[in-house]
Amino acid sequence: MSALRATVIRNRPVLFAYVLLIVLGAVGEIVASGFLRINHVDELIISGAFIALVGVGQTFVILTGGVDLSIPWVLNSSAVLLTLWSHGSSGRMAWLTPILLLGGAAVGAVNGIGVAYLRIPPIIMTLGMSTIVEGGLLLYTNGGSGSNAPNAAVYLATHRWGPFPVIASVWIGVLVVATVVLSATPFGRRLYATGQNSRVATFAGVRVTTVRVAVYIVSGVAASLAGIVLAGYVGSSYLGMGDPYLFASVAAVAIGGASILGGSGNFVGTTAGALSLAVLAGLLPILGLQPAALQIVYGCVILGAVTLSSAKVGARRRAE
């Protein structure tokens, strides 16, 4: 019983995230009968999947005490280049996908090198890279958008295996891999150690710089994958399609119980955060609120999470 209690206490923030998800779903059903009907739940899962796909990279980065602001334009570049280069061909998508994922990894590697080796603050480094990627994409496309997405991308984002959305399968696969990496591998232990105290981790033999570069690479790949899937969902691409996912990814991590200052959290919690934001977005029109109200929610969640994390760190330091 004591072990169970310890587990519950340790995972209390994650449990709170799932309680919040249940409450939001119940409120939606009370306010609008049929909110939780199967078809609408599928839509919510698909909406949450896009947040979760970018959220997995953001989770890894935030666990080390960083943040990745380049996600929107890595996502956007992947979507636009897929539609431009594939010309709607699923055959071309087969060889374009690894190239686009490598491109996302390259952006992440540059971010990681800047943060880990050049000691550039993560906000400045990733914001600078976001601007560079944005400018490069605008120059390449001359301010235009892409064409139609390949059928394979459309299938991945919109079709179902029986009653189950295909993209949900991708999400579950990512969830399993991320959870195993974070909880059952040496890399995961080094990642948490880096986020908790990088100086102590260095003395313990952890290659902190390598860990930091690796998490930004994960974030770049995840954003690129999200761009490919999002292009399939929309059926095409356009400039700015990644903008909503910057603060959404950070908010999902925060709602999921991770410390914004690093050292604690997991992707299981981010999953609940992504679904909660999707349900909240679905509630806004029913409540007569504009979509812009969601931006206020993002801001409040992020500020609240930073304040709470700072208070915890301060209390821990005073205790020491």
Domain membership flag for residue 182 = yes
Q: What is the pLDDT of residue 188?
A: 94
Which H or E run includes 4? Answer: helix 2-10
Q: pLDDT tens for residues 143-175?
A: 777 778 999 999 988 888 877 888 988 899 999
**Total count of domains within the chain:** 1
CB atoms within 10 A of CB 140: 13
Domain membership flag for residue 211 = yes
Q: Rounded to the nearest 10 degrees, how much is the dihedral formed by the CA atoms of 290, 292, 295, 297?
A: -20
Q: Are 36 and 25 in contact (CB under 8 A)?
A: yes
Domain membership flag for residue 198 = yes
Rounded CA separation 304/317 (Å):
20
Host domain of residue 166: 48-243
Domain membership flag for residue 251 = no
Structure tokens that stand for 223 in this block: 């954003």
The list of the chain residues with pLDDT below 70 reads 1-11, 309-320
Domain membership flag for residue 98 = yes
Q: Are 251 and 48 in contact (CB under 8 A)?
A: no
Rounded CA separation 123/250 (Å):
13
Residues with Cβ within 8 Å of 272's Cβ and at least 6 positions away in sequence, in order, are 14, 17, 18, 20, 21, 255, 256
Q: pLDDT tens for residues 198-235?
A: 999 999 999 999 999 999 999 999 999 999 999 999 98
Domain membership flag for residue 266 = no
Domain membership flag for residue 90 = yes
CB atoms within 10 A of CB 41: 15
Domain membership flag for residue 114 = yes
- Give counts: helices (H), strands (E), the chain: 14, 2
Which H or E run includes 164? Answer: strand 164-165
Q: What is the pLDDT of residue 311?
A: 65
